[in-house]
């Protein structure tokens, strides 16, 4: 997949007001764990605003969800995938809905539920997406 870009200041905030704006590998691993994703076999490292994911994931879907989980965190501008493979992703634009994204990427707006399911547990509600957020598009 290579480098996947994210909007650095559009993601989920994992920090308090007094904490640094750049996440650490430990903070990101805690976020992955809290989302219930299995990161065993993966190495996660941080260099400034870039996160690198390497190693072997339990499966492709889990790897893609972990990449999105760490990339959609405030302070992360890019995720380098050294674990191989790739997926289809979409960056949410102002005015986007899951229906519109499904029409654009899958040819049928009614398939928005598939996009919602493909992005659980990062998405808790189909109406809670934001510009700059990167979503996984199922194939």
User: Rounded to the nearest 5°, which phi and psi values hold at 33?
Assistant: -65, -45
Whether 75 and 92 share a structural domain = no
Same domain, 99 and 54: no
| Cβ contact 19:27 at 8 Å | no
Please identify, among 63, 81, 99, the residue that sits at the C-terminal boundary of a domain.
81
Across 8-22, 28-42, 91-105, 116-130, least confident range? 8-22
102 and 42 in a common domain: no
Asked if residue 110 and residue 77 are part of one domain, the reply reads: no
Q: Which domain holds residue 57?
A: 2-81
Question: Domain check: are 19 and 73 in the same one?
Answer: yes
Indicate if the pLDDT at residue 36 is higher than 80.
yes
Cis-peptide, bond into residue 51, ω within 30° of zero:
no
Residues 59 and 102 in one domain: no
CATH number of 131's domain: 3.10.350.10
- The whole-number pLDDT of residue 100 equals 97
The proportion of the chain whose per-residue pLDDT surpasses 70, expressed as a percent, equals: 91
Total domains in the fold of the chain: 2
Q: Which pLDDT score is estimated for 12?
A: 82
Assess whether 45 and 102 both reside in one domain. no
Which residue, 91, 89, 69, 123, is CA-closest to 1? 89
**How far is it, in rounded angstroms, from Cα 79 to Cα 67?**
7
Residues 6+ apart with CB under 8 A from 4: 67, 71, 78, 79, 81, 89, 134
Does residue 85 carry a pLDDT above 70?
no
Q: Is the pLDDT of residue 124 over 80?
A: yes
Pick the last residue of a domain from 81, 101, 129.
Answer: 81
Do 45 and 60 share a domain, yes or no? yes
What does the angle CA 14 – CA 138 – CA 126 come to, to the nearest 5 degrees?
55
Q: Are residues 33 and 93 in the same domain?
A: no
By percentage, how much of the chain surpasses pLDDT 90?
76
Identify the burial level of 133 via C-beta atoms within 10 angstroms of its C-beta, where 0-12 means exposed, 13-18 middle and 19 or more buried.
buried
Burial class (CB in 10 A: 0-12, 13-18, 19+), 126: middle
């Amino acid at each position: 997949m290579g480098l996947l870009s994210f909007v650095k200041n559009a993601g989920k905030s994992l920090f308090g007001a007094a904490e640094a704006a750049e996440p650490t590998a430990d903070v990101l691993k805690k976020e992955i764990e809290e989302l219930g994703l299995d990161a065993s076999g993966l190495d996660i490292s941080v260099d400034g605003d870039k996160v690198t994911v390497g190693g072997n994931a339990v499966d492709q879907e889990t790897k893609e969800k972990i990449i999105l989980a760490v990339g959609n965190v405030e302070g992360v501008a890019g995720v380098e995938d050294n674990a191989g493979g790739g997926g289809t992703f979409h960056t949410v634009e102002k005015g986007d809905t899951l229906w519109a994204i499904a029409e654009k990427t899958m040819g049928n707006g009614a398939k928005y539920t598939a996009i919602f399911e493909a992005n659980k547990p990062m998405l808790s509600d189909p109406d809670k997406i934001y510009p700059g957020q990167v979503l996984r598009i199922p194939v």
